[in-house]
Structure 1
């Protein structure tokens, strides 16, 4: 008995088909629709990777900010008539060093204090005739064990001295970082939604253009699950290929931007970018996070196509 042969239309494997009969798949890899879908998924993966990387950078910077700010407190000494500033500085340093949990305390010099005012007053001003406040930087060994209420109480003996724990700054930094992270996750969710919708439309278009092929598959006994499985496998390949291109592109983007920020951006702007984004250093965990997007996009592409095909077949059967 001769073997059953089908025209090369599908690229599917059926019992009874000759082993050498390999036809074009329903969604050919090199077709216009296949290449377009790969490009679309690559773009969406790239945008997802860049968004996720930005969220990781901001979160890392926020943690570093909070840790750095939380390990330091500042004693401010305002000029008071009849008080000797140098004596008050020494007293404040001694009180800080005697506080449990304090690692060190240092009074800023007059030149350092004047330099702190340069961003607001400008450079080249002669401040020698002005009594400016002085600062004592207190470094905490363990913020949880530091007895700051005791230090604040002891400082009442020094006229014009106030303790700043930077709690308001930490709260503002955390709120800002939380807002940026939440916005990034929202953008990421929108990108994923747009990708799913694009896959649905691509799958429906492919099903509509290959309706006759699907009818032939039904005629020879192929089940809906089998047809949906073939679509799932094809779209899994397309999704993985597009995800790989987009994921590698996102990692290359952060590497190139990091190099450009270090060589092309002015030093002042580079310092500000470093404070906000940590000099675009994703780290191993950030790169692994972007790479993890690739299989997620591929799986999402395959599952979305399978569900779309099954729903289409139920409506047309």
Structure 2
């Protein structure tokens, strides 16, 4: 009896051949979107964090009834102090036009900047050669001009905690998806075993070994899982593309760089082989365990 690619059991007629690929496709779709979404957000966070790690924003708030000339004087004094501070590479006073540009995506283009009590903002870029003590800098600024420096540490910590939560959520979703896939493949395999019990007993009588029978079931499960996972991966990639196209019009400046844009794609393309391997081992273990009870 040959142990090649032939099939002595008509598994293609089983109900599992109809519903299992669609279930695997749905599970793969959920897992792919979860992993790809996490990778995209993680890379955006890295880019955002890199931009903030070497930057400090200095804020000068106008005092009650203070004239523009007095505020401008404090701004110039602060700029001079910052330019001579160790570790500072460049200092730029943000114009009202620049502030308007920052606020327009959130407050709209009809915003009247002049009607808002906005503070004067100074963008400070650090050289990175030495650490800047923000606490000491704030003490110096407060004693001279009343300005306040912000190194964005709070926002970076919040983003790190948020990404940590997303990472665990993505891992949990993938774990649930894998568990669901194992359960569904095992359930479908047991159904096929019950439906073809007489054929399997006949194969045993003519000398077929359990491994020969198990290979037929595992090939069947692999084929169904591969079809479903490929469909799910393609659907996930199409969804991710549509989302990225919609997000490109938000004018937030967010986007994956060319050197890292492949990561979500690679993660998605890795799911069909993984799904196929999971189906193979699940079907094989289920069949061998059932056959041992039958003999």
Q: Which has the higher contact order (CA 8 A, sep 6+)?
A: 2
What residue in structure 2 maps to residue 291 of structure 1? 269
What residue in structure 2 maps to residue 123 of structure 1? 111
Distance in 2 between the 1:84 and 1:291 partners?
61
Q: Deviations over 1:46-85 (max 9, x none)?
A: 2211111111112112212222222221111223469922
Distance in 1 between the 2:187 and 2:103 partners?
60
Residue of 41, 52, 60 corresponding to 1:77? 60
Higher-Rg member (1/2): 1
1:250/1:310 CA distance change after superposition, 3 Å: same
Residues 1:141 and 2:123 are matched in the alignment: no
Residues 1:308 and 2:291 are matched in the alignment: no
* 1:301 to partner: Cα distance: 0.4
TM-score by length of 1: 0.79
What residue in structure 2 maps to residue 33 of structure 1? 16
* 1:291 to partner: Cα distance: 0.5
What residue in structure 1 maps to residue 51 of structure 2? 68
What residue in structure 1 maps to residue 37 of structure 2? 54
Equivalent residues, number: 289
Distance in 2 between the 1:158 and 1:111 partners?
27
* 1:216 to partner: Cα distance: 1.1
What residue in structure 2 maps to residue 106 of structure 1? 92
* 1:312 to partner: Cα distance: 1.2
Q: Deviations over 1:197-231 (max 9, x none)?
A: 11110000000001111111211222223322332
* 1:25 to partner: Cα distance: 4.1
Asked if the contact 1:204–1:309 (Cα under 8 Å) also holds between the matched residues in 2, the reply is: yes
Asked if the contact 1:237–1:298 (Cα under 8 Å) also holds between the matched residues in 2, the reply is: yes
Aligned pairs for 1:180-195 within 5 A: 180-195=166-181
Asked if the contact 1:70–1:143 (Cα under 8 Å) also holds between the matched residues in 2, the reply is: no
Aligned pairs for 1:1-317 within 5 A: 14-15=1-2, 25-28=9-12, 32-80=15-63, 84-110=70-96, 112=98, 123-124=111-112, 126-127=114-115, 132-142=118-128, 145-149=131-135, 151-262=137-248, 267=249, 270-271=250-251, 275=254, 278=255, 283-317=261-295
* 1:295 to partner: Cα distance: 0.6
Structure 2: 5+ residue stretches without partners: none
Distance in 2 between the 1:141 and 1:174 partners?
23
Distance in 2 between the 1:307 and 1:32 partners?
20
Distance in 2 between the 1:69 and 1:79 partners?
25
Q: Deviations over 1:150-193 (max 9, x none)?
A: 53343244231111111111111222222223222212221221
RMSD: 3.2
